Structure 1
Amino acid sequence: MSESLFKAATAFCTKCGSILPLLQEFGSVKCYSCSADYNADNFNNIKFNYTVHFNTVTSATLENIVGNEPDGPVVERKCPKCGNDRMSYATLQLRSADEGQTVFYTCTKCKYKETENS
């Protein structure tokens, strides 16, 4: 048997240098490129660490969400419910690409919501 051409970490095949797949069967790992078999015991001391970061809501950000902060950019538009002349807006493409977008308006005073297809 010939000596390995590659010297690599256990995550790489020592015969062809390819990245080894995850355990496929109990007890062995098979290289996709050269079909070399490796005993699963060779991978016992490999550890993976993952960090998942979540958004955190603090009392200050919660006040901004439920407070009087606008939901987006503000335009001069009269609210049909309370008569306030300022509304915030957001846009989405809900219909097909050759049609206009849908604009969602929210009153900055009473939070009344209305939509407009532009």
Structure 2
Amino acid sequence: MVNQSSGGPPFCALCGSLLSIPTHDKTASCPTCLHLTPAKEFEDAINITQSRPGFFEKHRVGHASRRAAAAELAAAELGKGATVREICPKCGHDEMSFRTMQLRSADEGATIFYTCTKCSYTYKLNN
């Protein structure tokens, strides 16, 4: 990816964060370190950004892939959660570990994964 600019840097001189070019203020405030850059440095600024074909495609992960990756991670970490007094439906043991993960959209409840600390039986509960 190539970034060319003339007429003033669009990046903070201290931390390198991308700056928003001010419209009415006399300074641009860095969103990361709050360093102030005089607005006159942006006068007549021309910024051109180019990327090679397919650059963004390799960074894109589909919804189904994210869900599968989250489920795989949850399965790998099932036995590492906190423990609660919960009866195992398989062996009747009274202690299970649990973990929660947000596998569905943000406006829906988290998924709770329970694992029996005795027999390792697992199940999930969608709230």
Fold equivalence (TM over 0.5)? no
Q: Greater relative contact order (Cα 8 A, min sep 6): structure 1 or 2? A: 2
If you compute each CA radius of gyration, which structure gives the higher value, 1 or 2? 1
TM-score class, shorter: 0.3 to 0.5
TM-score normalised by length of structure 1: 0.40
Higher helix share: 2
